[in-house]
Amino acid sequence: MTQQPIDFYFWPTPNGHKIRIMLEECGLPYRVKPVDITKGDQFKPEFLKISPNNKMPAIVDPDGPGGEPISIFESGAILQYLGRKTQKLYPRTERARVEVEEWLFWQVGGLGPMAGQAHHFRIYATEKVPYAIARYTEETTRLYGVLEKRLKGRTFIAEAYSIADIAAYPWVRSWERQGQALDGFPNIKAWLAQVSAREAVQRGMSTALE
């Protein structure tokens, strides 16, 4: 049976791009449903039924478990679901899976929120708050240091290219907006080049809303 398209609730931000990259990597058909977070679409009652935390990305897979539709919010949960569904980029052996999950949760609980706050206070905040700028820029630098160390002697974050790389990539790619410099992070530079070279990643970074 051919797979029906997944409804993909998207706005072009790093969290949105994680899922677009995964859909492209897995070759899954999808239909973009724009959620314009600059205009408040995330608060619409129809969207809140899918994503009660009023954030994109979210998906509705018409062909979910048992052949019934399923809706999923939170980018980490979506990446895991798509990895299990397709058996791609999410290893099945316990040791390898735990390793991917450690770095996936490191991204969704650490790098994403901290880099997001750095973006916010450096670029969008209507008030310039030096303490907040310094706090989030420095914490992001610390997290980049952790990633740099992890990538020493490795091509990818876990054993092989996985959802852990997909989660981190759109954030690290925006390093300049977070007040970071990559001069002291040669392993991150090499990793960014490896991941950027993938065609599915290039397609997944598309900002197209249809």
Compare residues 175 and 185 and give the one whose CB is closer to ligand GSH.
175
> Quick one: how many helices (H) and strands (E) in the chain?
9, 4
Say how many residues touch ligand GSH, by CB under 6 A.
Answer: 12
Query: Segment 165-204, which members bind ligand GSH (CB under 6 A)?
Result: none
Q: C-alpha angle with apex 157: 154 to 161, nearest 5 degrees?
A: 95
Compare residues 84 and 120 and give the one whose CB is closer to ligand GSH.
120
User: Could you give the C-alpha distances from 60 to 1, 73, 82, 148, 193, in angstroms and in order?
Assistant: 18, 9, 11, 35, 32
Compare residues 115 and 201 and give the one whose CB is closer to ligand GSH.
115
Q: Does 150 bind ligand GSH (CB under 6 A)?
A: no
**Binds ligand GSH by CB under 6 A, chosen from 6, 32, 56, 100:** 56
Three-class SS of residue 6? strand
d(CA 207, CA 31): 13
Q: Does 55 bind ligand GSH (CB under 6 A)?
A: yes
Binding flags for ligand GSH, 79-118, as an x/- string (CB under 6 A):
-----------------------------x----------
Closest distance of CB 121 from ligand GSH, Å: 15
**Binds ligand GSH by CB under 6 A, chosen from 21, 42, 90, 185:** 42
Compare residues 119 and 150 and give the one whose CB is closer to ligand GSH.
119
Among 201, 92, 187, smallest CA distance to 145 is for: 187
Compare residues 78 and 185 and give the one whose CB is closer to ligand GSH.
78
Could you please report the per-residue DSSP string of 11-79?
-SSHHHHHHHHHHHHHT--EEEEE--TTTTGGGSHHHHHH-TTS-S-EEEETT-GGGS-EEEESHHHHH
> Applying CB under 6 A, which residues contact ligand GSH?
13, 15, 37, 42, 54-57, 74-76, 108
